[in-house]
Amino acid sequence: MTVEPSVTTPSDTQTKHRIVIIGSGFGGLFAARALKRRKDVDVTLIARTTHHLFQPLLYQVATGVLSEGEIAPATREVLSHQKNARVLLGEVTHIGLDTRTVAHEVMGRQTVTPYDSLIVAAGAGQSYFGNDQFSDHAPGMKTIDDALELRGRIFGAFELAELAPTEEERRRLLTFVVVGAGPTGVEMAGQIAELAQRTLRNDFRVINPSEARVVLLDAGPGVLPSFGENLGGKARAKLEEMGIEVLTSTKVVDVDSNGLVIESQDGTRSRIESKAKVWAAGVSASPLGQQLSAQSESGLDRAGRVEVAPDLTLKGRPEVFVIGDMMALRGLPGVAQVAIQGARYAVKVITARLDGKPSPEPFSYFDKGSMATISRFSAVVSMGKIQFGGFIAWLAWLGLHLVYITGFKSRVTTLLHWFVTFIGRGRAQRVTTAQQVLGRRALQMLAEQARPQLPPVADDPTTWRPSA
Ligand SMILES: Cc1cc2nc3c(=O)[nH]c(=O)nc-3n(C[C@H](O)[C@H](O)[C@H](O)COP(=O)(O)OP(=O)(O)OC[C@H]3O[C@@H](n4cnc5c(N)ncnc54)[C@H](O)[C@@H]3O)c2cc1C
């Protein structure tokens, strides 16, 4: 028996311009919201998760400061009052540029959605630089699932250490290694150290959590390279003051369940015994970029990002925009502001066309600066020539993140949890389950078993006939 993919169209769509947005991250959500006042468009936002994820605070979910709901409101709820927008759950499997359709799937149900304009904002995933097997033992941090798995592994390591029969096993369990000294790695290492030294200080009877060893590794020569030498140096000094071992110019060459093998610049290899490892190095853009590139004149950069024209469209396909972490343009970084400003710009181009107005000037990015926390009361901020660190930087970080968290409810509870954690010692979200720790591998194994039965993806999704 075969099942026809259903074709979705809003009821009164014939007279309206159909805009399909892929992704509910910063790019996708801000594009949908920017279209709020347009009565002449139908917006369909398709994403593989039901939430909009505020990725910059994932590390706080992983270390028990915040709950997943606080950083991941339901996209449907966020857009519930926007009458021209609808939200569809589904993994986009195929984009047909000639047929102007997007094929998406959820739990075996295939759907095809036609578009007049398309905004692709499917973001990026973790890159293990060709060593995907490392992910079994060192999860990345890109999704809520990743953060909850890491939470389970981190808190679980302390629990198992309390039971460890030998000193060797205890040391292995109390050694935490974070790979990648960019903002995510620095924030993660800082939080694990604070967890061990403050939150868990009095909670165990056999082990002393504050003796935990936290190691931050990077293949490059410095910490927070995008912040420059001065702030990077300050961040490194603060991390070391907190007892974190910072190993730069050090490459990870192997990872297994009990530890990792590292190589220093002179080629010397050594091993760090560690159960809980975090991978915060490297990104690779959504594989949808390959489909777009194969069907257009746009190439891909080394991270799989799509090279776009100055108006953020695919070369030769002016109705298709690629924004955010999937977009390669003049070396712009994969940060939230690039996605947000790109989303607003794409909407500006589409609405100018609908209004018969001239195209806006090419996209130009306004760099508002960047910031990263190191520990409570300590952060670094870089805004052009203005650079500072310490408590004021931390307050600036706090305020800005509160502004960008979506929804009043989430802002209030986040503030409350920050108060509990930063002023007190507690962490409100210490729940971990075996499902969180094992779920990712279980799902991967299921997918691997199911893969041979999946139908091949046809070039034209309207002719795609999946088997039932
Ligand atoms: C841990 C971490 C910390 C960060 N910290 C900062 C920070 O402090 N400051 C900063 O500016 N930036 C930070 N970033 C980067 C920032 O989050 C990204 O640049 C930004 O999210 C990019 O937005 P986007 O819309 O392109 O992609 P994303 O926000 O990643 O959204 C992609 C969306 O596409 C969906 N999707 C993907 N594939 C498919 C598919 N096939 N079908 C359907 N849907 C799909 C996803 O579910 C998601 O909804 C951080 C990122 C991470 C991972």
Whichever domain contains 228, its CATH number is 3.50.50.100
Alpha carbon distance 170, 212 (integer Å): 10
Distance 304 CA to ligand 1 centre (A): 15
Residue 370 lies in a domain: no
Distance 123 CA to ligand 1 centre (A): 5
Angle (CA) 370 375 381, round 5°: 20
Ligand 1 closest atom vs CA 122: 34
Q: Say if residue 168 is in the same domain as residue 40.
A: no
Residue 359 lies in a domain: no
Question: In a mutational test of the pocket of ligand 1, which residue from 335, 374, 397, 398 has the highest number of ligand atoms less than 8 Å from its CB?
Answer: 335
Ligand 1 closest atom vs CA 286: 38
Q: Say if residue 163 is in the same domain as residue 213.
A: yes
Residue 381 lies in a domain: no
Q: What are the residue ranges of helices labelled H in 132-226?
A: 144-163, 167-173, 183-194
H or E stretch covering 93: strand 91-96
pLDDT at 249: 97
Q: Say if residue 273 is in the same domain as residue 335.
A: no
pLDDT at 410: 85
- In terms of Cα–Cα distance, which of 130, 145, 133, 139 is closest to 55? 145
Question: In a mutational test of the pocket of ligand 1, which residue from 20, 21, 26, 321 has the highest number of ligand atoms less than 8 Å from its CB?
Answer: 26
Q: Say if residue 55 is in the same domain as residue 146.
A: no
Of 327, 354, 381, the domain-final residue: 354
Of 304, 321, 354, the domain-final residue: 354
What is the residue-wise DSSP string for 28-61? HHHHHHHTTT-TTEEEEEEESSSB---GGGHHHH
Q: Say if residue 271 is in the same domain as residue 309.
A: no
In the three-class reduction of DSSP (H, G, I as helix; E, B as strand; rest coil), residue 262 is classed as strand
Residue nearest to atom 12 of ligand 1 (CA): 335
The whole domain housing 144 covers 132-280+438-442
Contacts (Cβ under 8 Å, ≥6 apart) of 218: 179, 180, 181, 185, 247, 248, 249, 250, 281
pLDDT tens-digit profile, the chain (468 residues):
445 567 666 654 468 999 999 999 999 999 999 999 999 999 999 999 999 999 999 999 999 999 999 999 999 999 999 999 999 999 999 999 999 999 999 998 999 999 999 999 999 999 999 999 999 999 999 999 999 999 999 999 999 999 999 999 999 999 999 999 999 999 999 999 999 999 999 999 999 999 999 999 999 999 999 999 999 999 999 999 999 999 999 999 999 999 999 999 999 999 999 999 999 998 999 999 999 999 999 999 999 999 999 999 999 999 999 999 999 999 999 999 999 999 999 999 999 999 999 999 999 999 999 999 999 999 999 998 899 999 999 999 999 898 888 888 888 899 889 988 888 888 989 999 999 998 888 888 887 776 554 443 433 333 333 332
Ligand 1 neighbours (beta carbon < 6 A): 22-28, 46-49, 55-56, 58, 91-92, 121-123, 141-142, 183-184, 286, 288, 324-326, 334-337, 339
Range 444-464 burial, b when 16+ CB lie within 10 A, else e: eeeeeeeeeeeeeeeeebeeb
- Tokens 């909407």 belong to 347
Q: Say if residue 182 is in the same domain as residue 254.
A: yes
Contacts (Cβ under 8 Å, ≥6 apart) of 94: 102, 103, 291, 457, 458, 461, 464
Question: In a mutational test of the pocket of ligand 1, which residue from 30, 52, 54, 55 has the highest number of ligand atoms less than 8 Å from its CB?
Answer: 55
Q: Say if residue 108 is in the same domain as residue 233.
A: no
Ligand 1 closest atom vs CA 53: 29
Distance 324 CA to ligand 1 centre (A): 8
Range 413-440 burial, b when 16+ CB lie within 10 A, else e: bbeebbeebbeeeebebeebeeebbeeb
CATH number for position 99: 3.50.50.60
Distance 7 CA to ligand 1 centre (A): 28
Residue 320 lies in a domain: yes
- In terms of Cα–Cα distance, which of 270, 330, 326, 324 is closest to 300? 326
Q: Which two tokens stand for residue 357?
A: 């107005």
- Tokens 């508002």 belong to 368
Residue 168 lies in a domain: yes
Q: Say if residue 117 is in the same domain as residue 138.
A: no
Ligand 1 closest atom vs CA 401: 8
Q: Say if residue 264 is in the same domain as residue 337.
A: no
Residue nearest to atom 25 of ligand 1 (CA): 27
- 261 DSSP β-pair partners: 254, 271
Output Rg (C-alpha) for the chain, integer angstroms: 23
Residue 422 lies in a domain: no
pLDDT at 464: 33
Q: Say if residue 265 is in the same domain as residue 338.
A: no
Ligand 1 closest atom vs CA 46: 43
98 burial level (CB within 10 Å; 0-12, 13-18, 19+): exposed
Ligand 1 closest atom vs CA 327: 26
* Tally of domains within the chain: 2
Of 336, 354, 372, the domain-final residue: 354
C-alpha dihedral, 204 to 210 to 212 to 215, nearest 10°: 150
Residue 83 lies in a domain: yes
- Say if strands 101-106 and 91-96 run parallel, antiparallel, or are unpaired: antiparallel
Distance 119 CA to ligand 1 centre (A): 15
Distance 2 CA to ligand 1 centre (A): 35
Q: Say if residue 227 is in the same domain as residue 88.
A: no
Residue 388 lies in a domain: no
Residue nearest to atom 44 of ligand 1 (CA): 47
* Number of Cβ atoms within 10 Å of the Cβ of 39: 7
Distance 210 CA to ligand 1 centre (A): 33
Residue nearest to atom 36 of ligand 1 (CA): 122
What is the residue-wise DSSP string for 291-304? HHHHTSS--B-TTS
- Residue positions annotated with a catalytic role: 187
pLDDT at 456: 36
Range 178-213 burial, b when 16+ CB lie within 10 A, else e: bbbbbbbbbbbbbbbbbbbbbbbeeeeeebebeebb
Q: Say if residue 156 is in the same domain as residue 257.
A: yes
Alpha carbon distance 441, 152 (integer Å): 14
